[in-house]
């Protein structure tokens, strides 16, 4: 059964996760069914990390097999991640800082993670940002906004436009997108600063980073796959690919998108050498 809705002022018929305009010309994937529908990481495929693509060659970072990563909630004593520095995608200059982070974890220290520090996570780290909160699509005719309420962290994706001639570097870069095949959103992002990590293994990158994501609806819109292509000639020896899988979060029907504020807990509790956010000496209101 279909239903009629308006997306960016266009009357559409929603059918099994896609939308067909009233004139029958344009079919696009619908990533938001209602204002209560979110997308949750499918942790049956693994922890909240970027996943390898079968047959895709050297892929995303994973843990050092001498120090297995055990995620929280697995029924076993959880551990922190120790990155596998033998991954051939890494340029040599990345390894000293990553080894220091590894050594700190092995020594029992708490590592930096953007989610736990309330810092922007960047891209493609956004695709493995949080195992707890679902994220949400706000989908219009000219722009898509993707929100993870845990920060909140917000991405803006501008549709059917080229990149700016002079992109100002930022935490999330400049994302432009378009639809393909009626079920996929393709997002091309450039213009990053170098202040985020690629992933939860604290893998640095440079401002040459270029990321292409393909968000595809599966199983009638109840599941979503994200395929990620990463290039950075300043940090990696080669382009590499990764993936992530999500499912519609039924809990979001009971707990819709709402505002969360993370900044109050942004002190350097674990002595990671990070500067806390500015604090006012007195209340302003």
By DSSP bridging, strand 3-7 and strand 38-41 are: unpaired
What single DSSP character describes residue 239?
A: -
Q: Decide if 136 is inside a domain.
A: yes
Closest CA to 190 of 227, 225, 154, 230: 230
Q: Within this chain, do residues 99 and 223 fall inside the same structural domain, yes or no? A: yes
Q: What pLDDT, on a 0 to 100 scale, did the predictor assign at position 15?
A: 40
Are 71 and 78 in contact by the 8 Å Cβ rule? The answer is yes
Does the pTM surpass 0.75? The reply is: yes
Q: Within this chain, do residues 14 and 86 fall inside the same structural domain, yes or no? A: no
Tens-level pLDDT at each residue, the chain (285 residues): 333 344 443 333 344 455 554 445 678 999 885 666 788 888 777 677 899 998 878 889 999 999 999 887 677 888 999 999 999 999 999 999 999 999 999 999 988 887 777 788 999 999 987 767 788 899 999 999 998 887 788 999 999 999 999 999 999 999 999 999 999 999 999 999 999 999 999 999 999 999 999 999 999 888 999 999 999 999 999 999 999 999 988 665 666 676 777 765 556 655 656 666 667 788 877
Structural domain total, the chain: 2
Rounded to whole angstroms, how far apart are CA atoms 121 and 33?
Answer: 26
Q: Within this chain, do residues 12 and 44 fall inside the same structural domain, yes or no? A: no
Q: What pLDDT, on a 0 to 100 scale, did the predictor assign at position 210?
A: 98
Spatial neighbors of 191 by CB under 8 A, at least 6 apart, are 163, 164, 167, 168, 169, 170, 173, 174, 207
Q: Decide if 70 is inside a domain.
A: yes
Q: What pLDDT, on a 0 to 100 scale, did the predictor assign at position 101?
A: 94
Rounded to whole angstroms, how far apart are CA atoms 182 and 217?
Answer: 9
Q: Within this chain, do residues 163 and 49 fall inside the same structural domain, yes or no? A: yes
Mind listing the pLDDT tens digit for each residue in 6-47?
A: 444 333 334 445 555 444 567 899 988 566 678 888 877 767
Q: What pLDDT, on a 0 to 100 scale, did the predictor assign at position 114?
A: 79
Q: Within this chain, do residues 38 and 22 fall inside the same structural domain, yes or no? A: no
Mind listing the pLDDT tens digit for each residue in 102-132?
A: 999 999 998 888 777 778 899 999 998 776 7
Q: Within this chain, do residues 153 and 175 fall inside the same structural domain, yes or no? A: yes
Q: What pLDDT, on a 0 to 100 scale, did the predictor assign at position 131?
A: 67
Q: Decide if 242 is inside a domain.
A: yes
Q: Within this chain, do residues 56 and 142 fall inside the same structural domain, yes or no? A: yes
Q: Within this chain, do residues 13 and 38 fall inside the same structural domain, yes or no? A: no
Q: Within this chain, do residues 50 and 122 fall inside the same structural domain, yes or no? A: yes
Q: Within this chain, do residues 71 and 13 fall inside the same structural domain, yes or no? A: no
Q: Decide if 284 is inside a domain.
A: no
**Residue 253: which region, alpha, beta or left (left: phi > 0; alpha: psi -120 to 50)?**
alpha
Q: Decide if 285 is inside a domain.
A: no
Q: What pLDDT, on a 0 to 100 scale, did the predictor assign at position 2?
A: 38
Q: What pLDDT, on a 0 to 100 scale, did the predictor assign at position 22?
A: 47
Q: Decide if 279 is inside a domain.
A: no
Are 125 and 197 in contact by the 8 Å Cβ rule? The answer is yes
Q: Decide if 275 is inside a domain.
A: no
Q: Within this chain, do residues 149 and 186 fall inside the same structural domain, yes or no? A: yes
Q: Decide if 258 is inside a domain.
A: no
Q: Within this chain, do residues 137 and 85 fall inside the same structural domain, yes or no? A: yes
Domain with 107 in it? 34-253
Q: Where are the alpha helices (DSSP H) in 120-258?
A: none
């Amino acid at each position: 059964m279909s239903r009629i809705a308006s997306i960016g002022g266009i009357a559409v018929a929603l059918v099994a996760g896609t939308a067909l305009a009233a004139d029958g010309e344009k079919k696009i994937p619908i990533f938001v069914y209602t204002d209560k529908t979110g997308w949750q990481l499918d942790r049956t495929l693994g922890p909240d990390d970027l996943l390898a693509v079968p047959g895709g060659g050297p892929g995303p970072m994973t843990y050092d097999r001498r120090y297995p990563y055990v995620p929280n909630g697995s029924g076993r004593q959880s551990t922190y991640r120790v990155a596998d520095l033998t991954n051939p995608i890494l340029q040599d200059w990345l390894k000293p800082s990553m080894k220091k982070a590894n050594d700190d974890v092995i020594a029992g220290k708490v590592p930096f993670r953007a989610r736990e520090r309330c810092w922007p996570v960047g891209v493609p780290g956004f695709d493995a940002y949080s195992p707890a909160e679902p994220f949400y699509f706000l989908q219009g005719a000219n722009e898509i906004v993707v929100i993870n309420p845990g920060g909140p962290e917000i991405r803006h994706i501008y549709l059917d436009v080229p990149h700016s001639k002079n992109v100002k570097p930022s935490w999330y870069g400049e994302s432009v997108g378009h639809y393909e095949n009626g079920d996929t959103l393709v997002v091309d992002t450039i213009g990053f600063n170098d202040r985020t990590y690629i992933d939860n293994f604290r893998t640095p990158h440079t401002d040459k980073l270029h990321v292409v994501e393909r968000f595809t609806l599966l199983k009638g819109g109840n599941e979503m796959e994200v395929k990620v292509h990463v290039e950075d000639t300043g940090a990696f020896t080669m382009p590499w690919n990764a993936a992530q899988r999500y499912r519609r979060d039924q809990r979001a029907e009971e707990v819709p998108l709402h505002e969360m504020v993370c900044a109050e807990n942004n002190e350097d509790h674990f002595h990671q050498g990070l500067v806390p956010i500015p604090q006012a000496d007195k209340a302003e209101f």
